[in-house]
Amino acid sequence: MTVSQRLREAARPIWDRCLSHPFVLGLGGGTLPVEKFQYFMLQDYLYLFDYARVFALGVVKARDGALMRVFARNVEAILDGEMEIHRTYMARLGIAEEEVLAVRPALDNLSYTHYMLSAAGRGGPAEITASILACSWSYAEIGQTLAKIPGAADHPFYGEWIRGYASEDYAAANQALIDLMDRLAAKASAEQMADLEEIFVNCSRYELGFWDMAWEMRP
């Protein structure tokens, strides 16, 4: 079992709950109330800034130029790629970016990003990647799962979100992170491996909590 497979297996019960979450099912069925989706997109947009900062810590802590470039490319991909999906939806909802940045992050959002930044700050590139991977990988699985629902990817409003996370480009970027995780932790000690698993599972728990937060529109 590879490192990434071990991490994925440890988080399986949590990810199963994410895939069957009413918010996620509402996306796939096109029945999600727009106000819940708007709340989610605003919070997720704020989340992505700190997500990019976690990658940026990888640039700081990398010991060689090649690894620095890997983390740097991911910072760019988030700020100029993944966040573009959010900007498109904001435009469709009539929300200016200035309005988005005036939104206060929800407590669940703050807790999640602070945990990631803490894990990245005390660890090295492997710990940074473990804290990042739960988000990237779970969204890839959710996007690919929802895209299999007849008509979901063609939904006039939610289809763009589903297509973005089910796309080949997103899958390739996520696979690159999985491969990076396996490479960085290939010689991890039992103690480090336990720490990586704890980080990954905790971030998976935060992912589930983020869906709960969005569904309930918690402040």
Active-site positions read: 135, 207
The DSSP symbol for 183 reads H
User: Smallest Cα–Cα separation from 132: which of 122, 111, 117, 110?
Assistant: 117
Q: Are 6 and 129 in contact (CB under 8 A)?
A: no
Distance CA 212, CA 98 (A): 26
Q: Which residues contact 218 (CB under 8 A, 6 or more apart)?
A: 106, 107, 108, 212
Side chain identity at 218, as an amino acid letter? R
